[in-house]
Structure 1
Amino acid sequence: MTETDILEQSSGLSNYARPQIAILDFGSQYSHLIARRVRELNVYCELYSCQVSAEDLGKHELVAVILSGGPSSVYDEDAPHVSEGVWKLIAERNLPVLGICYGMQELAHVFGGTVASGLKHEYGKSIVERVEGCQSQIFDGMPSEFQMWMSHGDKLTKTPEGFSPVAGTDNAEFVAIENTEKRMWGLQFHPEVTHSPLGKNILENFCVKIAGAKQDWVMADYAKEFIEEVRKQVGDSHVIGAVSGGVDSTVAAVLMTQAIGDRFHAFMVDNGCLRKDEAKNCLKRMRDECHVNLRVVDASDRFLDKLAGVTEPEKKRKIIGTTFIDIFQEESAKIEEELGVKCEYLLQGTLYPDVIESISYKGPSVKILQETDAIVIEELYRSDHYQKIGQAFVVFLTCKTVGVMGDSRTYENVASVRCIETTDFMTADFYHMT
């Protein structure tokens, strides 16, 4: 799902009648980004598990299938694979297929190619060279060499019968393959990330020129459809939801409020590790600008007491998650008691690149971090850099380093400032201040 797919219910809100491109997810960190890029082309798509059944997938009016990347190796015993039923469905409907990274390796594996662990792994930017004289439709309108983003350890060492190589790199001979008879294409690189500058061209070539998908989908229409679907599904029931102030939960809260009004009950949990005045600012913004009736629960002492002395990130995440669930259940019970009715539905906004930032232990470091972060944000606004930066924040590191203060040598903890340029929050460059 993309950042605007906001209500996760098992029954779903999918519109089976809408022609769509199906993206089969093998667990890549970029899977949801593929959906975003396709929708930016005004082409409708949906994301499904790579192990979706042919029966479920067959309910949809499909125009193409995209196989995502993934962390597994296709030759591993427990590696995920597309079912035989889905491959049969693809063949029966003559659907074009695009395999990306692991998806290309899955194509090779299924149709008789060879995938092996590469001696040299590729992570980051790489120059892709098209095979000389090859006029592949997937690269229509593109130069002979172009930059793409790689993120793989395995590579294709032998193409399946009927597949031809159409591009390579210095490290790998087969980074793009095709079988025009079967209408199948494979890419070892990731066209969906912003660090593949011409990646959108490739996706447009596949979705529009090859698959013939109509570019008639727009988010504004989807929002209207979503609101109507919510009204049908929720009926006269009440909905409860936690709001963080981020894009995901804010969009979810706004749409839900537009759909059912005061039968949506939103609250925000202040865990004591937010930015300075963040809870207060979020409350004001949600009420004044978004017209969402939000309540704030101050649970900062409770969270910080449980986090005291804990430095291991995974333990912090478990503590934060467990404590949040406890507080959520308590607040939900309070709201239901106040209303005298049960909230039948839970609203959850979903943004794929969720970032769980490092939480410091209870003590002066929390205040130092909050004040430092506030100063950095203030200076970014004052210097007109804020709107140019994708993300900026301060991290209080547990290590110490040598420095100079008041002309004297010091050996103290470090507050690290991180500013990055990004549009999708999946890949990024450091922001260069001038």
Structure 2
Amino acid sequence: MPEKILILDFGSQYTQLIARRVRELNVYCEIHPYNKIPPISPKVKGVILSGSPCSVRDADHPNPYLGNILGHMPVLGVCYGAQLLAHEQGGEVLPSTIREYGRARLSEVHGSDKLMKEITIGSTVWMSHGDTIKEIPDNFEILASTENVKVAAYKIQDEETYGIQFHPEVTHSAEGKTLLRNFVVHICGCSQDWTPDQFVQSTVDDLKSQLGNDKVILGLSGGVDSSVAAMLIHQAIGPNLHCIFVDNGLLRKDEFESVLDSYMHMGLNVKGVDAKQRFYDALAGLSDPEAKRKAIGKTFIDVFDAEAHGIENAKWLAQGTIYPDVIESVSVNGPSVTIKSHHNVGGLPDYMKLKVVEPLKTLFKDEVRLVGKTLHIDENILNRHPFPGPGLAIRILGDITPDKVAILQEVDHVFISNLKKSGLYNEVWQAGAMLLPVQSVGVMGDERTYERVVALRAVTSVDGMTADWAHLPYDFLADVSNEIINKVKGVNRVVYDISSKPPATIEWE
């Protein structure tokens, strides 16, 4: 188990961002709800208290017992965390006279303190709070101020306990990463040795111990998470890992064959299952998006279960669960601990008596890709855009037929191929095409046409939680539209989706 920083989540929208910034310093960290603090082991080198939408002035404000933490190890309170520490020790926290949201500049900096090392006067910081620390207890020392915020940063004397009113984790705080490095490395003493290579070595060792000679089943999707999980387990147990890759008839053009070929070259023990017709039969006549998802999920379970029964004495189900899924399942306001189902499985029934192994459950998506590079996974899989579990079924608005799937596969192929040829594919988070349930009038040659409309969708994003429509060059879009209309029979109009998330979602269904 590596040394780590513990992040206590009070419900801030930025909590995951704090973790990402700490991980970028090659230091392992974990997020836990403030009301579910784990035992403090010797491996915990320091604690960060997150922000919160709550106010310490509320009668029922989040206020965990920190007696075995404060004074025993370094602590950094961020925004609400800073206000909580000051409030609980006799300071005064009052509503801000003006809503302090946005950029501010540090007007005073106590540069001799370890936390403020290399933080400059005039440095931009990001404020986002409705309360302000007006008075600090006598044993507190102010480390930084802005024009409007006297107590922008403080330290408790004779303790390595710090509070900052701004958010160092957001990119708007110009020297935020420096401040976090000061806390994590110089104050907490973390050794910065948590790297992809180290993760692979320790994870494979753990998997060998956990799985022994047991057989493991994994449902591959062709995506990054399940592929990296498969390679880690393969390194630990070799052919005892049995991978199943199901063709649901809703994949991209030629994807089943190309991805299966990539897996074979990676040395995986993988079986491809052609189940297209079973999925088409299950989807026949369904137009409601949720009904389509449920039909696909149930059919996948049936196919997967039938294939799993052919593997004698299998004891484990491997899943590509990643850290954001785990965090969301144990969030401050969320449900109790649950295991996220693999995005292609959609929940396994109780009669599949398999134990679950999730080798990626401590990693963010960008970290999964870094581990994948260490494992030398095919770049075509590693850099693949996210693709929905239900596949093209939720990009065809209305009912699903093989003919509609064939049309959309061709349209999607033109779009994605041109993104790759133009060097734009890696500039985009996710791209695809939607087949709309409308027809429009067109003219081809001397004839009037009445054919289908497709919408192209491309977005930029960091994690998919928010997204902006990709500003693709007009000439590129014109060429793609022209090629689609000329090559794909049945389509005479192409539109481009310029909606951002929120309010729109990335997928249309």
Q: Give how far 1:206 is off.
A: 1.4
Q: Secondary structure at the match of 1:38?
A: helix
Is 2:312 the counterpart of 1:334? no
Matched letter for residue 221 of structure 1: Q
Percentage of pairs with the same residue: 32
Q: Distance in 2 between matches of 1:394 and 1:121?
A: 40
Partner of 1:20: 4
Q: Give how far 1:346 is off.
A: 3.7
Conserved in 2, the CA contact under 8 Å of 1:369 and 1:394? no
Aligned pairs for 1:186-225 (under 5 A) are 186-187=163-164, 190-193=167-170, 198-225=175-202
Are the structure 2 counterparts of residues 275 and 345 from structure 1 closer, same or farther at C-alpha, using a change threshold of 3 Å?
closer
Partner of 2:39: 57
Q: Which has the larger radius of gyration?
A: 2
Matched letter for residue 29 of structure 2: C
Conserved in 1, the CA contact under 8 Å of 2:110 and 2:116? no
TM-score w.r.t. the length of structure 1 is 0.73
Q: Give how far 1:249 is off.
A: 1.7
Is 2:130 the counterpart of 1:177? no
Matched letter for residue 181 of structure 2: E
Q: Give how far 1:88 is off.
A: 0.8
The equivalent position to 1:380 in structure 2, one of 419, 424, 430, is: 419
Aligned pairs for 1:17-416 (under 5 A) are 18-28=2-12, 30-53=14-37, 56-69=38-51, 81=62, 83-84=64-65, 87-93=66-72, 95-107=73-85, 110-111=88-89, 112-114=91-93, 122=101, 126-135=102-111, 137-146=114-123, 154-159=129-134, 161-162=136-137, 164=142, 166-168=144-146, 173=149, 176-181=152-157, 182-187=159-164, 190-193=167-170, 198-289=175-266, 291-296=268-273, 298=275, 300-301=279-280, 304-305=283-284, 308-310=286-288, 315=290, 320=293, 322-323=294-295, 326-327=298-299, 329-350=301-322, 352=324, 359-361=395-397, 362-363=399-400, 369-387=408-426, 389-394=427-432, 396=434, 415-416=455-456
Q: Secondary structure at the match of 2:149?
A: coil
Deviations 1:40-77 (A, max 9, x none): 32223233333234xx4223422111223456666667
Matched letter for residue 272 of structure 2: R
Conserved in 2, the CA contact under 8 Å of 1:38 and 1:44? yes
Return 5+ residue gaps in structure 2 as ranges: 325-363, 366-385, 389-393, 474-509
Conserved in 2, the CA contact under 8 Å of 1:245 and 1:282? yes
Q: Give how far 1:209 is off.
A: 1.9
Partner of 1:10: none
Q: Give how far 1:207 is off.
A: 0.6
Q: Distance in 1 between matches of 2:58 and 2:443?
A: 55
Q: Give how far 1:380 is off.
A: 1.9
Matched letter for residue 226 of structure 1: T
Partner of 1:6: none
Partner of 1:4: none
Conserved in 2, the CA contact under 8 Å of 1:108 and 1:159? no
Between the two proteins, the alignment pairs up a number of residues equal to 395
Return 5+ residue gaps in structure 1 as ranges: 1-14
Matched letter for residue 421 of structure 2: R
Q: Secondary structure at the match of 2:252?
A: coil
Are the structure 2 counterparts of residues 391 and 256 from structure 1 closer, same or farther at C-alpha, using a change threshold of 3 Å?
same
Deviations 1:356-398 (A, max 9, x none): 85644334775555444322221222222334x1413135397
Conserved in 2, the CA contact under 8 Å of 1:283 and 1:295? yes
Q: Give how far 1:227 is off.
A: 0.8
Are the structure 2 counterparts of residues 168 and 132 from structure 1 closer, same or farther at C-alpha, using a change threshold of 3 Å?
closer
Conserved in 2, the CA contact under 8 Å of 1:195 and 1:427? no
Conserved in 2, the CA contact under 8 Å of 1:167 and 1:174? yes
Q: Distance in 2 between matches of 1:149 and 1:113?
A: 22
Q: Distance in 2 between matches of 1:335 and 1:184?
A: 55
Deviations 1:297-352 (A, max 9, x none): 6364267448x3325xxx47xx63x5565445434533442123142444333153
Conserved in 2, the CA contact under 8 Å of 1:116 and 1:155? yes
